[in-house]
Chain A
Amino acid sequence: LDHGSALHTAAKDCLSSVSSQDVPAERPRAIFHTSESDPAKHTEHHEGRLYNIPLEEVKAVFPHGLPHRFQQQIQTFNEARVMVRKPALELFAYLRSSNFSHPAVRYVIYGERGTGKTMTLCHVVHYCSRQGWLVLHVPDAHLWVKNCKELLQSSYNRDRLDQPLQASVWLKNFKTSNERFLQEIKTQKKYTWGKRESTEEGRPLGEVVEQGLARVRSASDAMGVVLRELRQQCHRGSFRLLVAVDGVNALWGRTTLRKEDKSPVSPEELTLVHNLRKMVRNDWSGGAIVTTLSQTGSLFKPSSAYTPQELLGKEGFDALDPFVPIPVPNYSPREFESCYGYYLERKWLQHEKAHTEDGKAELQFLSGSNPRQLDRLAGPL
């Protein structure tokens, strides 16, 4: 295996510690793989390596949330390999040492375009689901503030607008990922959905979700109820709650939606956004809030903006303040070697020149070690 000197020196000190775990039962995997598929056991020794998530687990934990290109990659390679990187390991350390009787700490993952913020969030979601937390994963908050075909006036509050389609899609995916919790958690209040439909106190939360899926008109309200119940019951300690929001800057920006009289809709007037804002406040305890900033889907933000101040604006920053910022940089030389070696091993880089040193140097230069650029460049090669 020729992966350059950088990996060889790193490999020497890693090999001794890792070889005890990576006992090759089948043929020995390459140096950039690790057989440790439990994120809880990932340490700095695993940094820069790729770990495998079994495909059934991918379907259960990530019904939504993985980037589109990664999903295509899973289908082509027939496996889901995620790289272990420093920001994720940092987050694991914080989550392990957090005190759950204190209010929930907010973590904001930020970085330039294509550096791996969404993948870091997915790694954290996988870790928390393996630990048995209840994961509230919002795959992209930007989808709730743009391109909505149906906007209904909310029956609960006259001023607000409902989004039945988005809410029902989210409820369906929430149900897939958190089946067992929905039977255990019980409602604490009676909820009336209409003239003849209501959910009594003490019924499992699964019924609220079913109600939202069956009656699409009340899906947004069902989602609000779910969020409220989870927030109120989390401090008891029977379950831990992880709120994972991708593209949290959508909650405080502008929308491209319009009401029937063509007046613009501001985010507070949307039920989903209103409820999610309450969720992201740190007035509840017993879990953590991990969010990602995203310029890619954002509205009315320049493409060079990536810092929290720029993307959240004054309102969002004040709402999220205080938070723990976690920057995600481009690939380090070791991570780049790892990614390049993985593409070679999976036969993704088919061009003859891509196997040479010149080709590798050119890829590194053209992509600037940016994960997304490297993926886009390696596509046609």
Chain B
Amino acid sequence: MAAPSAAGLGRRLRAWLPRMVQVRWSRYSPSYLEPEAKKELYEKPLEELTEEEKEKMELKAVQPIKAAPPTLSSSVFNDPMISKFTNMMMKSGNKVLARSLMAQTLEAIKRKQLEKYHKAPENEKETIECNPYVIFHQALKNCQPIIGLSNITKGGKTYQVPVPLKDNRKRFLAMKWLITECRENKHRRTLMPEKLSQELLLAFNNEGPIIKRKHVLHKMAEANRAYAHFRWW
């Protein structure tokens, strides 16, 4: 767990050829193993394990293991997208509040859809989606932009250049737009779960202000097609 020594760092800096310089580093030494949360791997009897799995188990007996982060869960109901969204909603580290708001939002979506379901005639019942997780994932997918804009300075002027977005960036933009929309454009007295559930249901049906924002971004990218060749990556 020792930090890279000053001498080594100096040697690397002196002979600086295009090699990678370590930017993000971990307090753990390389011998530390990741914690395993999946229960199935522990429930397997010895005979079913393959050679490499047996080796890994033996290694775990001797090597130290890193501390489990709070987001790591062995629950069957754990969903990484929901966790990411909850983290983005969190303010000043109040995860308890963020998580309860998320739970209330999902419950609100479920109640609205179930009321609609019970009032609908028989033939329309299959079209109504009651699962809040399916609605959440589909709504986020509908909000993701395909193409984004990036500021590129050329000849002293900054141009908005259309640029393909990575998956992570798309997901981040969808979630960010959803949260900012729900924080700003609502009546002072409406609570977050109510507004969020409303926006998610609208986005699920491809309506609503966030889908509009996505379309606006797409139109701007389309309008700036001429500058697309400024991109060099």
Contact = CB atoms under 8 A, between A and B. Distances in A.
A28 interface: no
B200 to A, nearest CB: 13
Interface string A8-43: 000000000000000000000000000000000000
Interface stretch (A87-95, A105-113, A331-339, A356-364): A356-364
Most chain B CB within a 10 A radius of its CB, from A72, A352, A380, A381? A380
Interface string A333-354: 0000000000000011011111
Contacts of B104: 379-380
Given A350-B132, A351-B133, A380-B103, A359 B77 contact: yes
Given A356-B76, A359-B77, A350 B131 contact: yes
A362 B76 contact: yes
A353 B77 contact: yes
B107 A379 contact: yes
Interface in B123-166: 130-133
A304 interface: no
A380 B115 CA distance: 16
Contacts, number: 48
Interface centre among B103, B105, B107, B132 (most CB of A within 10 A): B107
Contacts of B130: 347, 350
A359 B107 CA distance: 18
B133 A379 contact: no
Contacts of B118: 77-78
B76 A380 contact: no
A75 interface: yes
A72 B111 contact: yes
Interface in B85-118: 102-107, 110-111, 114-115, 117-118
B26 interface: no
Contacts of B102: 380
A353 B114 contact: no
A350 B115 contact: no
Nearest to A358: B76
B132 A76 contact: no
B115 A381 contact: no
Contact of A351 (B77, B105, B107, B117): B77
Interface residues of B, number: 19
B190 interface: no
A379 B104 CA distance: 8
B75 interface: yes
Nearest to A79: B118
B111 A380 contact: no
B77 A76 contact: no
A355 B131 CA distance: 13
Nearest to A354: B77
Contacts of B115: 75-76
B75 A362 contact: yes
A26 to B, nearest CB: 15
A76 B119 CA distance: 10
Interface string B71-88: 000011100000000000
B76 A76 contact: no
Given A356-B76, A362-B75, A380 B131 contact: no
A77 B133 CA distance: 20
B133 A350 contact: yes
B191 to A, nearest CB: 15
A72 B110 CA distance: 12
Contacts of A347: 114, 117, 130
Contacts of A348: 110, 114
Interface in B169-186: none
A381 B117 contact: no
A106 to B, nearest CB: 38
B103 A76 contact: no
A105 B4 CA distance: 79
A348 B105 CA distance: 15
Interface string A224-265: 000000000000000000000000000000000000000000
Nearest to B132: A350
Nearest to B114: A76
B103 A379 contact: yes
A370 B142 CA distance: 39
A103 B107 CA distance: 48
Nearest to A378: B107
Given A353-B77, A362-B75, A380-B103, A76 B111 contact: yes
A353 B117 contact: no
15 contacts: A76-B115, A347-B114, A348-B114, A350-B110, A351-B131, A351-B133, A352-B131, A353-B76, A356-B76, A358-B76, A359-B76, A359-B77, A362-B76, A379-B104, A380-B105
Given A350-B110, A376-B103, A380-B106, 19 more contacts: A72-B111, A78-B118, A347-B114, A347-B130, A350-B130, A350-B132, A350-B133, A351-B77, A353-B77, A354-B77, A356-B76, A358-B76, A362-B76, A379-B106, A379-B110, A380-B103, A380-B107, A380-B110, A381-B77
Interface of A: 72, 75-78, 347-348, 350-354, 356, 358-359, 362, 376, 379-381
Q: Which 10 A-B residue pairs are closest in the complex by CB-CB distance?
A: A380-B106, A379-B107, A380-B103, A353-B76, A350-B131, A76-B111, A358-B76, A380-B107, A76-B114, A359-B76
